[in-house]
Structure 1
Amino acid sequence: MLQICCKNNNIIKSFPIGSSLLDIYNGFNLDIPYGPVSAKVNNKVEGLNYRAYNNKDVEFLNILSSSGMRTYVRSLCFVLCKAVEDLYPDGSIVLEHPVSKGYYCDLHIGREIGLDDVQRIKKRMQEIIEEDIPFHRFECQTTEVVELFRKKGMMDKVKLLETSGNLYSFYYTLGDTIDYYYGSLLPSTGYIRLFDIVKYYDGLLLRVPNRQNPDKLEEVVKQEKMLDVFKEHRRWNQILGIGTVGDFNVVCNNGHATDLINVSEALQEKKISNIADEIYNRGKNGRGVKLILISGPSSSGKTTFSKRLSIQLMANGLRPYPISLDDYFVNREDTPKDESGNYDYESLYALDLKFFNQQLEALLRGEQVELPRFNFSTGQREFKGDYLKIDDNMILILEGIHALNPELTPHIPAENKYKIYVSALTTILLDNHNYIPTTDNRLLRRIVRDYKYRGYSAEDTISRWPSVRAGEDKWIFPYQENADAMFNSALLFELAVLKDYLEPILRKVPNNRPEYSEAYRLRKFLEYFVSVQDKELPPTSLLREFLGGSSFNY
């Protein structure tokens, strides 16, 4: 017998050696709503078929947790892939990226997709779920797994596993369908309660349950501009011949990492130059952009982007002048409070909107104003004789999380504003059935920056991340489609460069801390990438904002 300490109810019970997590869950007579879907075993997430052979701490997870939702979505993706394989043996499907509160999928069946195809796929998925087919996990030598995928023609997985450097690898089966998934799956298809699949532009949208209320599907949010950005970068990746991490690793192992860095940086610079040209040309057409508003979530690289955009604007004969939203905070005692009674500095209403708009309108009328400076030590606004008057060639740049919120600048004429949304939209896939979450990309950037420049451990950053994400969901993401331009700050090579910085930082998270499971997941994920040294990165690279060595001052 072995001892299991259940963290859900803090009870310790004995179980036979080799008991599965599902046996243990039933043995504790737990009834977790919307679960269980997976569990933390000694702070590492495992599937419910995992068997315990030693004493363990176990915490069962449901779909309301980020980790549990990932398990649910992964399993649903496998059901979709099996349905496509069953219906279109010569077809293929690529699970590309999250968009519109779902997952965009590119289906290739040798002709245009019709509504009847979508209905057939959904019907077959429902049949697979109703059959309650178990997901089986098998582990064997990597060479065997690679050969298995090679015979199936799944070269994306062959390249990934061949370049990962692991002696042993695993694969999953669902009936007679085999696949590879990064992370745990549900015990069987019957655990999937809610889903939908709909036609979405030239592909499919896989819809999933709402995180807060899993009895409902997430609402489809219109994100045409976001989808266009993803597609543009996928086209660039195809030109480079790199769609997956396996492709990337092969190219780097063949000595072409420097070429990838140079091309990726050039593509970003070209995009920034095009945005600057559009802003300049709007002025020539008599519309007169006088205010550039730049928004984006945490660690999206807004600051470096605004500095590089300023250079391109100067090359067009314009004089950019940065305005900091932080200087327009209300005095601290007037700051709104959150539900916990703490000052909510991320709220739009932490800003003095009336005073801010008065100053902007005066500047746009050609008047001189005295700019404020916010003293963060005293929590009070101060004036120190900083006067500003804008002339014909001057253009104001305002960067902040609320920049695209219509409530920020309601009285500024639309023709005087140019709105830009910046985010790290990861376009490389792990393989054709495993996308890389853009939130992981930003979290990894932030862990490095917080550790190097702000004195925070990975544990600190990971623990704060859910509240950061909640603020983004409330104040940033609802307004991203208001942008005139979207800029993808993710670089094709960046996770391979971040890897060597991150691994020692992530290893410092003690395994008795709740944040360990996330640190461990991120560490295992980075193992898929070959390392690329940062010495080839130019000093203007957006990644320098997080790694150091930038020619810009922050």
Structure 2
Amino acid sequence: MNDTIKVICENGFGELEVPMGTPLLEVAERLTPGLHPFLAAFVNNRIKELSYKIYAPVTIRFVDITSFAGIRVYQRTAWFLLQKAVKDLYPGQTLHIRHSMGQSGFYCEIDGIDEFTPDEAAQLRDRMRELSVRNLPITRQRMLTTEVRARYAEEGFTDKIALLDTRPRLYSQLYTLDDTAGYFYGSLAPSTGYVTLFDIEPYYNGFYLALPLRTSPDTLHRNVHQEKMFGIFQEYQSWVRIMGVPTVGDVNSKVLAGDGGGLIKLAEAFHERKFAWVADTIYDAHLSRGARMVLISGPSSSGKTTSAKRLGIQLGVLGLNPVLISLDDYFVDREKTPRDADGNYDYEALEAIDLELFNDHLARLIRGESVDIPRYDFITGRRTWHNAPLTLDERSILIIEGIHGLNPRLTPSIPDAQKFRIYISCFTSVAMDNLSRIATTDNRLLRRLTRDYRQRGADALSTLSRWASVRRGEEKHIFPYQENADIMLNSSLFYEISVLRPFAEKILREVPDTVPEYDEARRMLKFLDNFIPIAPDEIPPTSILREFIGGSSFQY
């Protein structure tokens, strides 16, 4: 009997023969990695930890920190390392990973500590380094959920217990690092020694966990100054705590109690107050410095279009005449769109916009001329034209929404005093638990999957295959300008993933397991399974969420 099997390694190593039952880690050790160690691997398009054992012929693709999947493995492993260090130094106190900062750092707090000192940061950093050098193994066990729940109770993980109780399963996974138990929504590295680059710095009431960027894996980005974004996260997280829904388990509990409609009403009322406040601020800028142009920027699926329309209504209440323009309508025809490094159309590039036509129209509008505005058809990839020309009067204020709104190259001829800049994104405020935050990119991906399927004729495979390019474009063209904003807006609704679940699940299940995008579809399906669905019936027609699920009273 032949006890060896063939595996195909897509990293350029060709076919290998390995003994049956060989862990991926041993296969990785036979290969010559690049500049960075392998952290996990895709096995037949499903991501697996390096402890996974091979018992049949498979196709393998190893990932390191430079990939989107790999950086997530690195981050989760760093969180577990941090959890262990906090437990050693502050026994009985709870660590909270509140939200992201920059593109690969995280703001954290420890209960009972109102101000983290430089000495405390140094002690925590040193403890993490000790644990990293010791290269302690990280193990995963599949156990009866009752046993996992009992272990969580011993550790005081009430946040994790709440999620287990609202999404009951017979078996659950438990990670162990020395004497510390944990649960993470995705793969981890085999041991602490894989996390070698990190830092701890005091920040606000807690500290900043600095981790390397996917695009710059050998460098830590310290001293992240994103005060506006930090303020948005703090405001919303404080609010969801007051509302009693800081975690998914808390949201599920309220839904199971029949309060889904109440959650919708609260979240929508909060949004309405925010739009009214922003309109008041714009009106003051209009009077004080002659602001005539509102530029709304943000990454894909942030809700820019609906936000522009709702803001327009609030400005109308104040006596102004809002005129809305979407940058998407100034896309060049599809065949003229620049390509990214993979050869795909790069709609995130500024050059995908017809800047000459756009600025010509701006100049003519400001001069008081009547202008025919284009409309871009995403299905045909061609420009059409509106029937009704636009004209500005003395009460008019121009609202321009699009991903490049804060890029100075977009409107070079317009004086800064005449511009009011808004950055909007889906800053997800509800967390899975105290250590596992919900990435804003996942929330936005669910929105985009749902919208593109319904409005643009794009199936899940098409959207997922473009998502990496979209994210690279955001890193390059959008995020560097976000702090230029006069105001930041959070478009997330703490109930929305519960509503998006049935819409997105249907689409994601259509992705076949023969394509690389299958693992991302599978990951998102597992993520969605943690949410109790909420029916969309009580969502008002002006809600940002209606832009994605349909039923909006706005025209798009």
TM-score w.r.t. structure 2 length? 0.92
* Distance in structure 2 (CA, Å) of the matches to 1:275 and 1:449: 26
1:104 to 98, 104, 107: 107
* Distance in structure 2 (CA, Å) of the matches to 1:170 and 1:334: 49
* Distance in structure 2 (CA, Å) of the matches to 1:144 and 1:115: 39
Q: Which moved more, 1:373-382 or 1:515-524?
A: 373-382
Q: Which moved more, 1:146-155 or 1:368-377?
A: 368-377
Q: Note the 1:52-63 alignment, pairs <5 A.
A: 52-63=54-65
Q: 1:128 matched to which residue of 2?
A: 131
Q: Is the 8 A contact 2:140 2:173 kept in 1?
A: yes
* Distance in structure 2 (CA, Å) of the matches to 1:333 and 1:454: 18
Q: Which runs of 5+ in 2 are unaligned?
A: none
Q: 2:374 matched to which residue of 1?
A: 373
Q: Does 1:465 align with 2:455?
A: no
Deviation of residue 15 (structure 1)?
3.5
1:235 to 223, 235, 238: 238
Q: Note the 1:132-531 alignment, pairs <5 A.
A: 132-218=135-221, 220-283=223-286, 285-326=287-328, 346-351=348-353, 353=355, 356-357=358-359, 359-361=361-363, 363-364=365-366, 367-373=368-374, 388-531=390-533
Q: 2:213 aligns to what SS in structure 1?
A: coil
Deviation of residue 147 (structure 1)?
1.3
Deviation of residue 334 (structure 1)?
7.9
Change (3 A) 1:114 1:552: same
Deviation of residue 246 (structure 1)?
1.1
* Distance in structure 2 (CA, Å) of the matches to 1:379 and 1:12: 42
Q: 2:325 aligns to what SS in structure 1?
A: strand
Deviation string, structure 1 residues 325-348 (Cα, Å, up to 9, x no partner): 355567889876656777755433
Deviation of residue 135 (structure 1)?
0.5
Q: 2:431 aligns to what SS in structure 1?
A: coil
Q: 1:553 aligns to what SS in structure 2?
A: coil
* Distance in structure 2 (CA, Å) of the matches to 1:5 and 1:411: 59
Deviation of residue 350 (structure 1)?
4.5
* Distance in structure 2 (CA, Å) of the matches to 1:202 and 1:252: 32
Q: 1:216 aligns to what SS in structure 2?
A: strand
Deviation of residue 470 (structure 1)?
1.5
Change (3 A) 1:187 1:316: same
Deviation string, structure 1 residues 512-549 (Cα, Å, up to 9, x no partner): 11110110111111111111111121111111111111
Change (3 A) 1:370 1:34: same
Q: 2:219 aligns to what SS in structure 1?
A: coil
Change (3 A) 1:120 1:549: same
Deviation of residue 77 (structure 1)?
0.8
Deviation of residue 202 (structure 1)?
2.3
Deviation string, structure 1 residues 237-259 (Cα, Å, up to 9, x no partner): 01111111111111111111111
* Distance in structure 2 (CA, Å) of the matches to 1:40 and 1:351: 36
Q: 2:218 aligns to what SS in structure 1?
A: coil
* Distance in structure 2 (CA, Å) of the matches to 1:52 and 1:316: 66
Deviation of residue 363 (structure 1)?
4.0
Q: Is the 8 A contact 1:95 1:432 kept in 2?
A: yes
Q: 1:118 aligns to what SS in structure 2?
A: helix
Deviation of residue 234 (structure 1)?
0.5
Identity %: 46
Deviation string, structure 1 residues 269-320 (Cα, Å, up to 9, x no partner): 110111111112333x442321111111111111111111111111111111
Aligned length: 551
Q: Which amino acid aligns with 1:140?
A: M
Change (3 A) 1:344 1:139: closer
Deviation string, structure 1 residues 387-443 (Cα, Å, up to 9, x no partner): 554222211111111111122223323332211111111111101011111001111
Q: Does 1:114 align with 2:117?
A: yes
Deviation of residue 47 (structure 1)?
1.0
Q: Is the 8 A contact 2:9 2:16 kept in 1?
A: no
Q: 2:115 aligns to what SS in structure 1?
A: coil
1:21 to 13, 24, 40: 24
Q: 2:530 aligns to what SS in structure 1?
A: coil
Q: Which moved more, 1:381-390 or 1:61-70?
A: 381-390
Deviation of residue 364 (structure 1)?
3.7
Q: Note the 1:59-98 alignment, pairs <5 A.
A: 59-98=61-100
Change (3 A) 1:153 1:374: closer
Change (3 A) 1:494 1:383: closer
* Distance in structure 1 (CA, Å) of the matches to 2:258 and 2:383: 54
TM-score w.r.t. structure 1 length? 0.93
* Distance in structure 2 (CA, Å) of the matches to 1:144 and 1:382: 61
* Distance in structure 1 (CA, Å) of the matches to 2:334 and 2:60: 43
* Distance in structure 2 (CA, Å) of the matches to 1:133 and 1:35: 17
* Distance in structure 1 (CA, Å) of the matches to 2:31 and 2:381: 52
Q: Note the 1:528-539 alignment, pairs <5 A.
A: 528-539=530-541
Q: Is the 8 A contact 2:334 2:382 kept in 1?
A: yes
Deviation string, structure 1 residues 367-392 (Cα, Å, up to 9, x no partner): 32434537879999999996554222
Deviation string, structure 1 residues 105-146 (Cα, Å, up to 9, x no partner): 122344421110000000000000111110111221111111
Q: Is the 8 A contact 1:318 1:393 kept in 2?
A: yes
* Distance in structure 1 (CA, Å) of the matches to 2:418 and 2:218: 44
Q: Which amino acid aligns with 1:454?
A: R
Q: Is the 8 A contact 2:348 2:470 kept in 1?
A: no
Q: Is the 8 A contact 1:257 1:532 kept in 2?
A: yes
Deviation string, structure 1 residues 204-244 (Cα, Å, up to 9, x no partner): 11111221332222455421111111111001101111111
Deviation string, structure 1 residues 446-500 (Cα, Å, up to 9, x no partner): 1111222222221111100111112111221111111111111111011111111
Change (3 A) 1:340 1:209: closer
Deviation of residue 351 (structure 1)?
4.3
Q: Which runs of 5+ in 1 are unaligned?
A: none
Q: Output the aligned Cα RMSD.
A: 2.6
* Distance in structure 2 (CA, Å) of the matches to 1:331 and 1:298: 20
Q: Which amino acid aligns with 1:394?
A: S
* Distance in structure 1 (CA, Å) of the matches to 2:294 and 2:358: 15
Q: Which amino acid aligns with 2:528?
A: L
* Distance in structure 1 (CA, Å) of the matches to 2:182 and 2:127: 18
Q: Which amino acid aligns with 1:497?
A: V
Q: Is the 8 A contact 2:365 2:371 kept in 1?
A: no
Change (3 A) 1:4 1:503: farther
